[in-house]
Structure 1
Amino acid sequence: MKILVYSVLLLGLSMSCSADEKGAALSQKPVQVTVNQPESNSEGAFATASGKLVSKNSVNVSTRMMGYITGLRAEVGQNVRAGQLLVSINSTDIQAKGGQANAQISQAQANFNSAKKDYDRFSNLYKSQSASQKELDDMRARYEMAKAGLDAAQAMKSEVNAQYRYTNITAPISGVITAKYAEQGDMASPGMPLLTIESPSALQAQVLVSEQNITLIKQGIPVKITLKSTNQEVGGTVAEISRSSANTGGQYLVKVNVSDSANLLSGMFVNVQFPFKNNGKTNLDFQEGVMIPKSALVENGQLTGVYTVSSNNTAILRWVKTGKHFGDQVEILSGLNAKEPYIVSAEGKLFNGAKVTK
């Protein structure tokens, strides 16, 4: 019996509260609101892709010889100029080969000088018919062999000099050292990367695009690039489009030149928005480009909504699904169409059914 009485009391209270809210909504003065249309891409649809910024000019510094690193004048984050000495490698072996090459050149030069004198002398004797043709031919052969020996010794010396250049490694470009793979005292080997230098003045956004969208992306089209960490938005232009997904997990690599890379760093994560012109065809994979300001969103726990205006000029809270963020704008994936007005701001408290005036 008590339970029945309690239930009747709760029902009465709820009915009275509901009546009170309806009465408040009817007696409330209309709230002044600012209404806006969702921003949509008038050209058609768009697709988004995620990736990161990389330097267009990135060089791995390595050597072609083996030896201990005797000097490493480089630190990560250091600015270097082209031609600046960065790494020195022990050159004892090269110095020994250089001494051998010099000795071989001296020996070959002496043989060449002797052979040349004999050849010149026998040429004069042959002209005065004091030497035979065979004797002249023998002197000519000896002279040519001595000349070839001298050329070989000089070529060996040039090879040694070329190896010397790899004992003192300089910066191939001007930029910033972004990675260091060895320390002083380590053993360097041919092809082993020692440093990475990047030029921060020219950055690219590298993103992976799905196969549904790659055929509609063209070289040279303008795009929007948004930094995930700061929501900063910059412009860009599609520079390169890969036509193979064999090494990228079924997606296609697209490189975008960043128009303004000031205050941007290589490695930052970005979202890139690719616009598509409307060709009259419907593709469910494309978004209609519904973008609204973040300030228009209403947060309630894990739900996100936006107030719309009914035909009776009342506020209606519509739950929506949001997508990627582009600056101060947010992408609406569902719950709001491109032609539906929504409330941007209000001069009073809004709730479902509240009277509004524009």
Structure 2
Amino acid sequence: MKILVYSVLLLGLSMSCSSEEKDATLSQKPIQVTVSQSGASSEGAYASASGKLVAKNTVNVSTRMMGYITGMKAEVGQNVNAGQLLVSINSTDIQAKGGQANAQISQAQANYNISKKDYDRFSNLYKSQSASQKELDDMRARYEMAKAGLDAANAMKSEVNAQYRYTNVTAPISGVITAKYAEQGDMASPGMPLLTIESPSSLQAQVLISEQNITQITQGMSVKITLKSTNQEVPGTVAEISKSSTNTGGQYMVKVNVAGSQNLLPGMFVNIQFPFKNAGKVNQDFQEGVMIPKSALVEKGQLTGVYTISSNNTAILRWVKIGKDFGDQVEILSGLTAKEAYIVSANGKLFNGAKVSK
């Protein structure tokens, strides 16, 4: 009998509490909210791709000489100017060739002087009919051979001088040394890279685009670039579009010039959003631009949602799947359709079923 009375009392209390909560919900004053529409900041369909920043001007410094490196005046991170001496290579062999070339020039010059005098003498004798035509022809042949020998010796000297220039390697451009492949005392060989110089004043973003999207990207198109590390947004312009995907795994390389890249560094990862204007109907190959502010998101544990408004003007928590970040905006992959109203901010605490007013 006591158990029955206790159960009746609990049932009565439960019904009383439920009634009170219902009355409280009915008597709740509507919460003032600010409403927006998903995709309001987007201009239609878009394609996005991830990549990294690279220096537009990158040079691998090498030499045409083989020899030991006797001087290395370069370190990674060092700023250099065009024409600045960076690497010196042992020039003993070149000096020996230079001495040989000088000796050959002296010998050729002497032969040339003698043959020229003989030719001039026999020319005067031939005019006075004191020498035959054959003798004059022989002197002319000796003179031309001596002249050719002198030209060859001078050409060899020019070649040696050209090789001298490769024993002192200078910076071809102004920039920053980003890589160093040899040290003082190492053996340098022709074509072997010694240093890499990048010019960070002019950066490009390189991304790979799928074949469904590449046809909609045009040279000169304005794009939005987002740095993944800081969410900083900078404008960009499409500079180069590869028309072949043979060497890039079925995707197409697109290079984008970055504006205002003074504080950026090569190697930073970025996300690029390529916008496409809608002409009535969105191309099914592209994603609809569903973007909302990050401030509108509600996080509970590992779930992320956003409050929408029902037909009865009550708040409804909708779970969504988010995609890439674009500064203070975030991409919604699912859970919220384009142009669907959602709550951006409220003057009170929102919960499921809370009355709201715009």
Q: For the superposition of Structure 1 and Structure 2, which TM-score range results when normalised by the shorter chain? A: over 0.9
What secondary structure sits across from 1:204 in the alignment?
strand
Q: Which residue of 2 aligns with 1:264?
A: 264
Q: Cα RMSD over matched residues?
A: 2.2
Partner amino acid for 2:61?
Answer: V
Q: Residue 175 of structure 1 aligns with which residue?
A: 175
Which whole-Å deviations, capped at 9, do the CAs of 1:135-167 have from their partners, x for residues lacking one?
000000000000111100100000000000000
Partner Cα distance (1:321, 1:308) in 2: 15
Residue 304 (1) aligns with residue 325 (2): no
Q: Distance in 1 between matches of 2:357 and 2:118?
A: 115
Once the two structures are superposed, residues 58-106 of structure 1 have per-residue CA deviations (whole angstroms, 9 ceiling, x without a partner) of 1111101111111111111111111110110110110110001000100
SS in 2 for 1:202: strand
Q: What is the TM-score with the length of structure 1 in the denominator?
A: 0.94
Q: Return 272-281 or 219-228, whichever deviates more.
A: 272-281
Give the equivalent residue in structure 2 for 1:204: 204
Q: Provide the residue aligned with 2:123 in structure 1.
A: 123
- Which amino acid in the other structure matches residue 63 of structure 1? T
Give the partner amino acid of 1:61. V
- Is residue 47–residue 273 contact of structure 2 (8 Å, CA) maintained in 1? yes
Structure 1 CA distance for aligned equivalents of residues 156 and 17 of structure 2: 101
Query: How many aligned positions are there?
Result: 353
Aligned to 1:316: 316
- The residue that corresponds to 1:353 in the other structure is 353
Q: Indicate if the aligned counterparts of 1:55 and 1:203 stay in contact, CA closer than 8 A.
A: yes
- Counterpart of 2:191? 191
Identical counterparts, % of pairs: 86
Matched to 1:205, the amino acid is A
- Using the TM superposition, give the Cα deviation of residue 32 of structure 1 relative to its aligned residue in structure 2, in angstroms: 1.7
Report if aligned partners of 1:208, 1:252 keep a CA contact under 8 Å in 2: yes
Give the CA deviation at 1:23.
Answer: 4.0
Amino acid at match of 1:142: R
The CA distance in 1 between the partners of 2:260 and 2:13, in whole Å, is: 63
- Asked if 1:219 is matched to 2:219, the reply is yes
Greater mean alpha carbon deviation, residues 271-280 or residues 234-243: 271-280
Match of 1:286 in 2: 286
Conserved in 1, the CA contact under 8 Å of 2:39 and 2:339?
A: no
Q: Distance in 2 between matches of 1:154 and 1:10?
A: 116
Residues in 1 aligned to 2:91 and 2:285: alpha-carbon distance in whole angstroms: 61
In structure 2, relative to structure 1, the CA distance for the partners of 1:120 and 1:77 (3 Å cut) is: same
CA distance in 1, matches of 2:141, 2:121: 14
Distance 1:169 1:24 in 2: 84
Paired AA for residue 177 in structure 1: I
**Residue 237 (structure 1) aligns with:** 237
Q: How do 1:26-41 and structure 2 match up within 5 A? A: 26-40=26-40
Shift of 1:257: 0.6
- What's the CA shift for 1:40? 3.9
Q: CA deviation at 1:348?
A: 1.4
Q: CA deviation at 1:117?
A: 0.6
Q: CA 1:16 to 1:194, structure 2 compared with 1: closer, same or farther past 3 Å? A: farther
Q: CA deviation at 1:16?
A: 7.4
- Is the Cα contact below 8 Å between 1:223 and 1:235 reproduced in 2? yes
Matched, 1:56 2:56: yes
Higher mean Cα deviation, 41-50 or 161-170?
Answer: 41-50
More off after superposition, 332-341 vs 148-157: 332-341
Q: SS state of the match for residue 324, structure 2?
A: strand
The alpha-carbon distance between structure 1 residues 16 and 134, as it changes in their structure 2 partners (threshold 3 A), is farther
Question: Which residue identity does 1:162 align to in structure 2?
Answer: A
Shift of 1:39: 3.3
Tell me whether 280-289 or 130-139 shows the greater mean CA deviation. 280-289
Instruction: Provide the residue aligned with 1:4 in structure 2.
Output: none
Distance in 1, matches of 2:207 and 2:69, equals 38
Name the structure 1 match of 2:326: 326
- Residues 225 and 9 of structure 1: CA distance in aligned 2, closer, same or farther (over 3 Å): farther
Rounded to whole Å, the distance in 1 between the matches of 2:19 and 2:230 is 47
1:103 corresponding residue in structure 2: 103
Supply the AA of the counterpart residue of 1:327. G
- Letter matched to residue 72 of structure 1: M
Q: Secondary structure at the match of 1:182?
A: coil
Q: For the structure 1 residues 300 and 263, does the alpha-carbon distance in structure 2 shift closer, same or farther, using more than 3 Å as the test?
A: same
Residue 157 of structure 2 aligns to a residue whose secondary structure is helix
Unaligned 5+ residue runs, structure 1? 1-6
The amino acid of 1:354's aligned partner reads: A
Give, in whole Å, the separation in 1 of the partners of 2:8 and 2:249: 64
Separation (CA, whole Å) in 2 of partners of 1:73 and 1:309: 68
1:277 shift after superposition: 2.1
